[in-house]
Structure 1
């Protein structure tokens, strides 16, 4: 029997959990043509949310086409334009001949090289003459609008890990180019989402940046323990197994309601369960999960400086006001200015983040590993 819990890939249908308010808000934006900015840490379910909202939106309005672009491995403008054009062409039609015709009609001057892979869907690989693209990249940027007008459809361009544009040679000029064209697109809207909150905020909330006030900004929170409890108990029941409310709550508690880890711990607990899942099974599964991640966590920790480790130790020990003279001396943090630099570096490394007047670990399992196995607090 297939395990009823999904992690590490997009959760769809019954695997998708809650997020009803966020789905409604995104669907409203998609249908009305409003740009959306979605921000949350990695593995909190942004991609799953956008896919679910796109499915719901299509039921309300069939005259929409969704294009999904992942910038996870994109580091140059050239790669961006190829990824954007590929996604837009793929979404523009279902028949290979129609896709090829769209490429010829709207991108002919760039001499696009299209390669089609055999299969059930129009899998394509596109390469462009970069020398030609550099002369007028706006033609690629305007491709969705041209195709939308030509087809009578509305396009929604969904771009994941959007903060990676900061890796481009001249990111601000690139943003100016995008904004200058995108603001004139009347048949295309954009859903831009990313995991590095501070970088995303710099792009969309700084008055000096081109994308200032570009769209509706949505901060994704964790799914509540109550919603996880109902989801977990139902998924166990659907597969002929049982888990009590208290035990389901234990899974969300140990995983700190982190979507990826809740699903992973639930899966490991489900696999260990014959009929009824107990707290003992869950704790055993969680211990194994920590050990499975130990090598990765050790590698991460080896890359930290002594003062960064001291900062984390202070945080785990419950120290408040880390820049106070008392804590600086006790945990050997250097100076108050150094504390600020340490915090900024750890945020950049995506180990901690700040919010609601507190500092917290982004990875709850790493936090537990540090406490129990590294610092042994």
Structure 2
């Protein structure tokens, strides 16, 4: 029997946590042509969620495009990735599709290439290089143009959108905002996982995308959703879970999709034969999970200065503390408040900490738990 709890990869269908409210809200936004900005920390299931939504609205007649911008490290790479995403949405490469692509991107030069496994897809180039702006403009207009021709609504998703902040200039950013703001029949959805970069794009009044869409932070899973999903999956395997164990699993997973899946994956492996899970099993699985993640956490720590490490450990042990108070600084030998302020800024930029009012909290609460048990 296959373990029903999948982690570390995109999940779809029965393996996907039932974010019913989020799915319904996003589907409505897409049909209404609303632009949406979705942020969450890594491993919260943004990509799985949006692909579930895209599958749903596609069946309802919406044209959909999904572009992962994580590899788009330059403006030129952005054009290549987005052009491939748009062409992929048209179907498998054929002469008919090639003709449509040439019409949608008149300044780009498409060619069909065969990958190692025999799959065909488009690659793009443009000549001469000084027509970048025209090529970009054609590309950004393409989905709107197609939707208008087919008299349909459309949705374009840019995953890891914060990567465009790293470009040499804001040409792509400005052109996107200028063109997209007139597209009433296209919903653009921007996903991001690096808070400090994502914040620059959408919260800075001096940047093109300021106030350009509806913000939709992706929160933790509701306790009742976790309990329902976990109960269903284990019952299909004939494993019994008392109510207190279900509540404990939801509590230990903290509503985090990745860690809750991983915790349940371990429990399923450990307890399938005996067909019963006890509170002790949950605690053992939690410790095993932290041990598995320990290698990743060690790598993160090794990239920090000694001061930054000390500060993280101190905040893990005393999360509600006033960080600039003398007793806290003295207890953990952290030095002056000015040096701590600098360390905090760096840890926030590295997406390890967030500031919530006067508190500094871990983006990954299980990193804090691992530090406590270390």
Q: Flag whether TM exceeds 0.5 (same fold).
A: yes
Matched, 1:124 2:98: no
Deviates more, 1:76-85 or 1:49-58: 49-58
Deviation at 1:57, TM superposition (A): 2.7
Pair 1:146-2:145 in alignment: yes
| Corresponding residue SS for 1:242 | coil
Match of 1:281 in 2: 281
Is the 1:85–1:143 Cα contact (8 Å) retained in structure 2?
Answer: no
- In the alignment, which residue of structure 1 is the partner of 2:224? 226
Structure 1, unaligned runs of 5 or more: none
Q: TM-score, normalised by structure 2?
A: 0.91
Residue ranges of structure 2 left out of the alignment (5+ in a row): none
The alignment partner of 2:216 has SS state of strand
Q: Is the 1:328–1:334 contact (alpha carbons within 8 Å) kept by the matching residues of 2?
A: yes
In 2, the alpha carbon distance for the partners of 1:91 and 1:323 equals 53
Mapping for residues 244-263 of structure 1, pairs under 5 Å:
244-263=242-261
Alignment of 1:1-377 (within 5 A): 1-59=1-59, 61-62=60-61, 64-93=62-91, 96-117=94-115, 123-129=120-126, 131=129, 133-136=131-134, 137-170=136-169, 172-273=170-271, 274=273, 275-318=275-318, 320-355=321-356, 357-373=358-374
Once the two structures are TM-superposed, the CA of residue 43 in structure 1 deviates from its matched residue by 0.7
Q: Report the Cα distance in structure 2 between the residues aligned to 1:118 and 1:329, rounded to whole angstroms.
A: 60
Q: CA offset at residue 176 of structure 1? A: 1.0
Question: Residues 259 and 357 (structure 1 numbering): CA distance in 2 closer, same or farther, change over 3 Å?
Answer: farther
> Would the alpha carbon gap of residues 129 and 185 (structure 1) be closer, same or farther in structure 2, given more than 3 Å must change?
same
Note the C-alpha offset of 1:100: 1.0
DSSP-derived class of the 1:270 partner: helix
Q: How far, CA to CA, are the matches of 1:88 and 1:42 in structure 2?
A: 26
Higher mean C-alpha deviation, range 215-224 or range 320-329: 320-329
Instruction: Determine if contact 2:31/2:153 at 8 Å carries over to the other structure.
Output: no
Question: C-alpha root-mean-square deviation of aligned residues, in Å?
Answer: 2.2
**In the alignment, is the contact (CA less than 8 A) between 1:92 and 1:99 conserved in 2?**
yes
How far is the alpha carbon of 1:26 from its aligned partner?
0.7
| Structure 1 residue 356: Cα displacement | 5.8
Query: Secondary structure at 2:107's aligned position in 1?
Result: helix
Paired with 1:200 and 1:179, the residues of 2 have a C-alpha distance of: 15
Q: Is the CA contact 1:350–1:362 (under 8 Å) kept in the aligned structure 2?
A: yes
Moved more, 16-25 or 26-35: 16-25
Residue 103 of structure 1 and its aligned partner are, at CA, apart by: 1.8
How far does residue 31 in structure 1 lie from its aligned partner after superposition?
A: 0.5
Q: CA deviation at 1:292?
A: 2.1
Is the contact made by 1:33 and 1:189 (CA closer than 8 Å) also made in structure 2?
yes
Q: Quote how far apart the aligned CAs of 1:153 are.
A: 2.8
Count of aligned positions: 369
1:95 positional shift:
6.2
Alpha-carbon distance between aligned partners in 1 of 2:266 and 2:328, rounded to the nearest angstrom = 40
With over 3 angstroms needed to count, the CA separation of the structure-2 counterparts of 1:114 and 1:18, relative to structure 1, is: same
**TM-score, normalised via structure 1 length:** 0.90
Q: Distance in 1 between matches of 2:279 and 2:285?
A: 10
Partner SS state of residue 89, structure 2: helix
Answer whether contact 2:87 2:122 (CA < 8 A) is retained: no
User: Distance in 1 between the 2:148 and 2:281 partners?
Assistant: 57
CA pair 118-150 structure 1, distance change in 2 beyond 3 A: farther
